[in-house]
Amino acid sequence: MRDSYREQLDSVVADLVEMSQLICAAVRNATAALLNADLQLSEQVISNDGRIDDMHADIEMRCFDLLARQAPVAGELRTVVAALRMVTEMGRMGDLAAHVAKVARMRYPDRAVPTSLESNFARMAEVAEEMVEQAGKTLRTRNVAVARELAAIDEEMDDLRRTQFRILLGNDWPYGVEAAVDVALLGRYYERIADHAVSMGRRLIYVVTGEIGGIDTWTQA
């Protein structure tokens, strides 16, 4: 019975890793659609978000089942509870990637990102994808050192976001209100993807070490 239980728990973790890979692809494709005004790719990202949502629901139900049927304790309980929170984090990441694709679709055939900010958004996407990939790696390896690195990587995302605001609020912004709103929203989407990845890293640290300090910072919406 316990062997079966551990197999179920390992299966949940494996599916979380697979989900993180789907989100990496979603972020990458949504950004390509955004920067290249690619309508077909936008639709693909939006459609594939349903698969991420289905995985979210399935993993969540399996975690509830493990809690109800197996009454896990100690490290196993931390793993199940953290998995419940992580799957929610990743569900939100998938939604945010879909939001990026929807902005690209809404502005088609034009590009939603002004030329002067294309490199900024391209780097934002690279950082976000790297962070999601690293969060998935922490799940696979339970490497606390890798999990701790996520907060440091997030600093670059914050710097990119500040650069956007300096450009948006400059007296020489030439693109109008609509473009400013798009840029503000899109920047927020990438920033939140990174925040969710950091939160996943903190949860992994909790699973491995039992450290609960700073848990209030894990619950950002």
pLDDT on residue 208:
84
The answer on pLDDT for 66 being more than 60 is yes
The owner of tokens 């299966």 is: 11
pLDDT on residue 23:
96
* Least confident range of 73-87, 89-103, 163-177: 73-87
Find the mean pLDDT for residues 167-193: 93
Mean pLDDT of the chain: 89
pLDDT digits (tens, 9 = 90+) for 191-202: 999 999 999 999
The answer on pLDDT for 125 being more than 60 is yes
CB 29 within 8 A of CB 14: no
- Polymer length in residues for the chain: 221
The answer on pLDDT for 5 being more than 80 is no
pLDDT digits (tens, 9 = 90+) for 94-103: 999 999 999 9
Find the mean pLDDT for residues 153-170: 93
Q: In 10 A of CB 65, how many CB atoms?
A: 13
Find the mean pLDDT for residues 44-62: 95
DSSP 8-state code for residue 37: T
Please, where are the H alpha helices in the chain? Answer: 2-36, 39-70, 74-107, 118-141, 144-168, 176-209
- What architecture is domain 2-219? Up-down Bundle (1.20)
Q: Which residue has the higher pLDDT, 74 or 2?
A: 74
Where in the chain are the domains? Answer: 2-219
Peptide bond into 174 cis (omega under 30): no
pLDDT on residue 2:
56
pLDDT digits (tens, 9 = 90+) for 23-37: 999 999 999 999 999
